[in-house]
Structure 1
Amino acid sequence: MIGVLVTFMQPEKFDRSTIARIADELRGPFEGMAGLRFKSFTLDEDGVQARNFYVWDDEEKARSFFTKEIVDKVTGIYGVPPKIEYLDIVGFVDNSGT
Structure 2
Amino acid sequence: MIEPPLRITLLTQNAGGWARLCRLVSAAQAEADGAAPVVSWPTLRAYADRDLVVLLGPASEPVRALSAGCPDVAEQLLAPWRDLAGEHLRLEAVYLGRQGTGRARCG
Report the TM range for the smaller structure's normalisation: 0.3 to 0.5
Of the two structures, which has the highest relative contact order with CA contacts closer than 8 Å and spacing of 6 or more? 1
Larger radius of gyration: 2
TM-score of the two chains, using structure 2 as the length reference: 0.33
Higher helix share: 2
Higher strand share: 1
TM-score of the two chains, using structure 1 as the length reference: 0.35
